[in-house]
Amino acid sequence: MRSTTSRRAFLQTALALGALAGSRLEAATALFSGAAEARTFKLAYAPHFGMFETHAGKDLVAQLEFMAQEGFTALEDNGMRDRPVETQEQIGRTLSRLGMRMGVFVAHQINWKQPTLTLPDPAAREAFLEDVRASVDVARRVNAKWMTVVPGHIDLRLHMDFQTANVVETLKQASGILEPHGLVMVLEPLNTLRNHPGMFLTTTPQAYLVCKAVGSPSCKILFDIYHQQISEGNLIPNIDAAWSEIAYVQVGDNPGRREPGTGEINYRNVFKHIHGKGFTGVVGMEHGNARPGREGERAVIDAYVTADSF
């Protein structure tokens, strides 16, 4: 009798523990996947490869799957053009499967030290245009719409107006290559005070002027909030003034070029503003992680949840 009672008690305890373990497993699964799958950001924030490598590993497909699981709906990869064709095609298929969009990749070889597009140099112009032609194929493989263009370094011996005219003429020819494919090069003004001294394109008004002079739907502005905070500040009024030419946005807090909330920019207000203007493009997360490892990666995700809660 005692044996039967003990056996019954043991079975009841085992069942109870099993149920408890099962409920905890279900809760853990929901915490890891369900909450993230249910998350919907108001804007299409685009991480880059390596940003969540501690969680997802080095495999690019696994990284994309992790991004999608966390609610991100786009990818940004500056170096896409230099990846093997098979890798580009694999990324394109994975993005399609996950319902994610491709953000920018860099369309050409940028010379960070010597003038290129600012010069009346037929060879430099043709080399740039050849890169743009090749980037049309890259865009097709990954189903991209936008590609970054940086006009390059200034020439200290040539008047800026002549340089502007040279850049405009080259970009008109590049637009002729991109327009039939519905592709858009986005010109990125860069700060010269911290990261890129000597570059030609530095401010929002200058980029606006160049785009208006080119006069093509395939030539627009990449508004990098990090660079423009350093170069000129006055973010929201400048966004409004240049809005008709802005097709893409990038993010990084200042100082440090890390995730929102680590610097001086009120990203919640900026995101709220561009969302209110009806922005449906991609917001590229072109910054590093403030902290290393899984904790730092989770902090990046939490930063976007916070900045997106407007």
106: pLDDT strictly greater than 80: yes
The model's confidence at residue 36, banded by pLDDT at 50, 70 and 90, is low
Domain co-membership, 178 together with 246:
yes
Same domain, residue pair 69 and 187: yes
Half-sphere exposure of 242 (CA within 13 A, CB side): 28
pLDDT interval class at 127 (50, 70, 90): very high
Do 12 and 33 lie in one domain? The reply is yes
Q: Which residues are catalytic?
A: 188, 286
| Tally: H helices and E strands in the chain | 12, 8
Contact by Cβ (8 Å): 219, 253: no
What is the average per-residue pLDDT within 72-93? 98
Reported as a pLDDT band with limits 50, 70 and 90, residue 160 is very high
Other CB atoms within 10 A of residue 164 CB:
18
Q: Do residues 135 and 57 both lie within one domain?
A: yes
Q: Are residues 113 and 162 in the same domain?
A: yes
Supply φ then ψ for residue 297, to 5 degrees.
Answer: -65, -40
C-alpha angle with apex 166: 164 to 167, nearest 5 degrees?
65
Mean pLDDT confidence for 280-294: 98
Residue 134 and residue 271 in one domain = yes
Among residues 156, 59, 163, 146, which one has the least CA distance to residue 105?
146
| Range of the structural domain that residue 260 is part of | 39-307
Angle between helices 293-307 and 267-276 (to 10 degrees): 50
Q: Tell me the pLDDT band of 37, cut-offs 50, 70 and 90.
A: low
Count how many domains the chain has.
2
Q: Is the pLDDT of residue 193 over 90?
A: yes
236: enclosing H helix or E strand: helix 235-241
Judge if 25 and 45 occupy the same domain: no
pLDDT tier at 20, thresholds 50, 70, 90: very low
The reply to whether 201 and 287 lie within a common domain is yes
Instruction: Count Cβ atoms within 10 A of the Cβ of residue 198 and give its class: 0-12 exposed, 13-18 middle, 19 or more buried.
Output: middle
